[in-house]
C-alpha cells in the first residue's frame, strides 16, 4: 500500500547522525598536558608498613620471599610494628617484675626485627613497638594470653587507666626496649644488665599505634604518655625523631588540636611528626567489585578533604611538624574475611593507593605508606601485598614499586587532563625526565587518545599482570587502551 513520504524522516536521520558524530568526537578528545604550569613540587615519599605476624617468622613458607620483596622495593621510612595480637612478639616484659625477679624475653621479637633491619639496610626505618604491657593498666583481673606465640589474641589490650598515671613506668619500659636494640642491652628494674649485642640506629620512633582504639585513650592521656616516652628516649638517642598521634580515625579534630599545640606538652618535647591512617571499605556487605570501585574512590576523596583540614590545623599550631600517613589500604570486611577475594581487587586497591599518592603529593604530605607487607586469613588477608599462598608479590606491591621507582620528592606536578572522568591523569617532570601517570578507576577498558609521543615507553600494572612483575612496552600511536584498574607510567622521550 502506497504511503505518503514523511518529510521529517531524513531530518531525524541527520539529527541522530549528528549526535553520534558529536559523541564520537567527544570520545576522541586528546589527553592534554601543560608542561609549563607547575601545580606543586612533591615532598611525598611512597613507602609501606610491615606488621609483625607469624608469616614473618623463619618457619613460615613465605618468610624468605616476603623479606626479599621488602629488600627489593628499596623504600625509605618503612614502618615496622610488632602488634598486640601476638603478645609474645609485641611485648618484651609480659609479667610485672617482683621484688626478686624480672621477666624480660625477646626471643620472639628479635628474629623478625633483625630480618626487617637487614631488608631495609641503607634506608631509614620508622620503628614502632606499639604495645604497652597490659599489666601496666588497671584491669578487673590479670589478662591471660595464649602460650602459643602464633595464636592471635585480640583481647590483649585491656584497661583504660594506667596504674602509674605519670607515664614513667611506660616510659621506662620503652627506654629498655630501645636500649636493647640500640645500645647493646639494658639494666632492668632490679639492677641486672641484659646484654643483646644489637647496636642499630633508629632514626625514627613512633609512639604507640591507634591509641584512639587500643585502650580508647583520650588525646590528653596519649599526650602525657608521648611526652614521658620521648623525653626518656631523647636521653638515649638525641638524634632520633619522633612520630605522634597515629590515630585510626582521623575524623576527630580534637586529637590534632590538642596534640599539635605546644602548650600541651612538657618543655623540651619535640613535635617532629604526626601520623594517621585510612582504609577504604565497601559501603555494604553485599557489594561486589564493580561497586567497590565507587565506594573506595568516594571515600578516598572524603579522606583527602579531611587531610586538608588536618593540614590547616598543623600549619596553624606546629608548622614544622611533618605528616606521615602510614597506613593506606582497603579492607573488605574484617580481620578474618572469609569471602572470595576477586583477582581484580588487588589492582583496584593498588589504583586507589596510586590516586592517593598523587593527591597527597599536591597537598604536600611528606610520607604515604601502603599497608601492609603481609596479611593472611585471621590477619586482614585483604590488606596483604604478598600472596600468602605463594609468597609472590601481588598487584598492590607492584603498584607501590612502580610509583616508588618513578616518582618522589622534588618532582614537579604539572596539569594533565585525560578528558575522561574514569581515568585520573597526572604529569610529572622528574629527575629522570617527563612522565605521565594514568590510573583507571574502573573495572572496564577505556580508550584514550594520547598526544604525539614518539619513542615513549610505558610500565604498567593491570589485571593481566596479576602477581607478575611490572610489564614494559612501547607506546604505539593512535588510541591507547587503559585496562581495568590499570596503573600506567608513560616515560616521554625528549
Q: Is the pLDDT of residue 8 over 90?
A: no
Determine if the pTM surpasses 0.75: yes
Query: In 3D, which of 70, 15, 136, 30 has the Cα closest to residue 401?
Result: 70
Quickly list DSSP for 350-408. HHHHHHHHHHHHHHT-SEEEEE-S--BTTB-GGG-SB-TTT--B-HHHHHHHHHHHH--
**Is the CATH number 3.20.20.80 carried by domain 41-410?**
yes
Query: In 3D, which of 322, 320, 301, 247 has the Cα closest to residue 277?
Result: 247
Q: Is the pLDDT of residue 5 over 80?
A: no
Give me the pLDDT at residue 406, please.
98
Place of cell 592471635: 152
Ramachandran area for residue 245 (φ above 0: left; ψ -120 to 50: alpha; else beta):
left
Domain spanning 29-39+414-491: which superfamily? Golgi alpha-mannosidase II (2.60.40.1180)
| Distance between CA atoms of residues 86 and 317, nearest Å | 37
Give me the pLDDT at residue 28, please.
59
Q: Is the pLDDT of residue 16 over 80?
A: no
| Distance between CA atoms of residues 465 and 343, nearest Å | 11
Query: In 3D, which of 214, 265, 231, 188 has the Cα closest to residue 87?
Result: 214
Q: Which three cell numbers stand for residue 2?
A: 502506497
Q: Is the pLDDT of residue 330 over 70?
A: yes
Give me the pLDDT at residue 20, please.
44
Q: Is the pLDDT of residue 13 over 50?
A: no
Give me the pLDDT at residue 242, please.
98
E-strand ranges in 6-54 read 32-33, 40-41, 45-51
How many residues can be counted in the chain?
494
- Kindly report, residue by residue over 43-55, the tens digit of the pLDDT: 999 999 999 999 9
User: Would you place residue 369 in the very low, low, confident or very high pLDDT band (cuts 50, 70, 90)?
Assistant: very high
Give me the pLDDT at residue 24, please.
40
Give me the pLDDT at residue 113, please.
98
Q: Is the pLDDT of residue 269 over 80?
A: yes
What's the distance, Cα to Cα, between the start and end of the chain in Å? Answer: 69
Q: Which three cell numbers stand for residue 6?
A: 514523511
Q: Do 29-39+414-491 and 41-410 fold alike per CATH?
A: no
- Kindly report, residue by residue over 413-451, the tens digit of the pLDDT: 999 999 999 999 999 999 999 999 999 999 999 999 999
Q: Is the pLDDT of residue 29 over 50?
A: yes
Quote the percentage of the chain above a pLDDT of 90.
Answer: 88
Q: Is the pLDDT of residue 364 over 70?
A: yes
Mean pLDDT computed over every residue of the chain: 93
| Distance between CA atoms of residues 176 and 186, nearest Å | 6
Mean pLDDT is lowest, of 187-196, 329-338, 350-359, 380-389, for 329-338
Quote the percentage of the chain above a pLDDT of 70.
Answer: 94
In the DSSP assignment, the letter for residue 422 is T
Give me the pLDDT at residue 494, please.
82
* Domain locations along the chain: 29-39+414-491, 41-410
| Distance between CA atoms of residues 160 and 282, nearest Å | 31
Q: Which three cell numbers stand for residue 408?
A: 618522589
Decide if 263 contacts 228 (C-beta within 8 A).
Answer: no
User: Would you place residue 6 in the very low, low, confident or very high pLDDT band (cuts 50, 70, 90)?
Assistant: low
- Kindly report, residue by residue over 160-205, the tens digit of the pLDDT: 999 999 999 999 999 999 999 999 999 999 999 999 999 999 999 9
Query: In 3D, which of 452, 438, 416 has the Cα closest to residue 483?
Result: 438
238-264 exposure pattern, b = at least 16 Cβ within 10 A, e = fewer: eebbbbbbbbbebeeeebbebbbbeeb
Beta bridge partners of 273: 243, 322
The pLDDT of 302-314, averaged and rounded, is 98
E-strand ranges in 415-486 read 416-417, 423-430, 433-440, 446-449, 457-461, 471-474, 479-482
Amino acid at each position: 500500500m502506497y504511503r505518503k513520504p514523511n518529510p521529517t524522516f531524513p531530518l531525524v536521520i541527520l539529527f541522530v547522525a549528528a549526535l553520534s558524530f558529536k559523541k564520537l568526537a567527544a570520545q576522541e578528545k586528546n589527553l592534554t598536558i601543560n608542561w609549563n604550569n607547575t601545580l606543586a613540587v612533591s615532598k611525598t615519599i611512597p613507602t609501606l608498613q610491615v606488621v609483625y605476624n607469624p608469616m614473618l617468622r623463619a618457619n613460615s613458607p613465605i618468610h624468605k620471599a616476603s623479606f626479599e620483596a621488602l629488600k627489593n622495593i628499596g623504600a625509605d621510612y618503612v614502618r615496622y610494628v610488632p602488634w598486640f595480637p601476638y603478645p609474645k612478639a609485641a611485648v618484651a616484659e609480659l609479667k610485672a617484675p617482683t621484688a626478686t625477679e624480672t621477666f624480660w624475653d625477646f626471643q620472639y621479637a628479635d628474629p623478625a626485627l633483625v630480618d626487617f633491619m637487614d631488608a631495609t639496610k641503607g634506608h631509614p626505618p620508622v620503628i614502632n613497638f606499639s604495645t604497652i604491657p597490659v599489666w601496666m593498666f588497671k584491669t578487673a583481673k590479670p589478662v591471660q594470653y595464649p602460650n602459643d606465640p602464633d595464636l592471635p589474641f585480640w583481647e590483649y589490650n585491656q584497661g583504660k587507666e594506667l596504674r602509674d598515671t605519670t607515664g614513667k613506668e611506660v616510659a621506662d619500659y620503652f627506654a629498655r626496649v630501645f636500649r636493647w636494640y640500640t645500645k647493646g642491652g639494658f639494666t632492668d628494674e632490679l639492677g641486672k644488665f641484659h646484654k643483646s649485642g644489637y647496636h642499630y640506629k633508629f632514626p625514627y620512633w613512633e609512639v604507640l599505634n591507634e591509641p584512639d582504639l587500643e585502650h580508647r585513650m583520650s588525646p590528653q592521656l596519649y599526650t602525657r604518655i608521648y611526652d614521658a616516652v620521648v623525653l626518656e628516649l631523647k636521653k638515649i638517642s638525641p638524634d632520633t625523631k619522633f612520630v605522634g598521634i597515629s590515630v585510626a580515625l582521623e575524623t576527630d579534630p580534637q586529637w590534632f588540636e590538642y596534640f599539635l599545640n605546644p602548650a600541651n606538652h612538657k618543655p623540651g618535647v619535640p613535635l617532629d611528626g604526626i601520623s594517621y591512617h585510612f582504609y577504604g571499605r565497601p559501603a555494604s556487605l553485599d557489594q561486589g567489585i564493580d561497586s567497590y570501585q565507587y565506594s573506595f574512590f568516594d571515600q578516598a576523596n572524603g579522606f583527602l578533604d579531611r587531610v586538608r583540614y588536618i593540614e590547616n590545623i598543623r600549619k596553624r599550631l606546629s608548622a614544622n611538624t611533618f605528616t606521615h600517613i602510614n597506613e593506606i589500604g582497603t579492607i573488605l570486611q574484617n580481620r578474618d574475611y572469609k569471602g572470595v577475594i576477586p583477582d581484580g581487587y588487588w589492582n583496584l586497591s593498588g589504583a586507589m593507593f596510586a590516586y592517593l599518592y598523587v593527591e597527597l603529593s599536591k597537598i604536600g604530605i611528606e610520607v604515604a605508606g601502603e599497608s601492609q607487607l603481609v596479611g593472611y586469613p585471621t590477619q586482614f588477608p585483604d590488606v596483604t601485598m604478598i600472596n600468602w599462598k605463594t609468597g609472590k608479590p601481588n598487584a598492590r606491591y607492584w603498584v607501590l614499586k612502580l610509583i616508588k621507582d618513578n616518582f618522589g620528592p622534588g618532582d614537579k606536578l604539572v596539569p594533565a587532563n585525560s578528558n575522561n572522568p574514569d581515568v585520573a591523569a597526572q604529569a610529572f617532570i622528574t629527575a629522570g625526565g617527563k612522565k605521565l601517570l594514568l590510573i583507571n578507576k574502573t573495572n572496564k577498558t577505556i580508550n584514550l587518545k594520547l598526544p604525539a609521543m614518539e619513542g615513549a615507553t610505558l610500565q604498567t600494572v593491570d589485571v593481566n599482570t596479576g602477581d607478575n612483575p611490572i610489564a614494559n612496552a612501547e607506546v604505539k600511536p593512535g588510541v591507547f587502551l587503559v585496562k581495568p584498574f590499570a596503573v600506567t607510567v608513560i616515560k616521554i622521550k625528549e
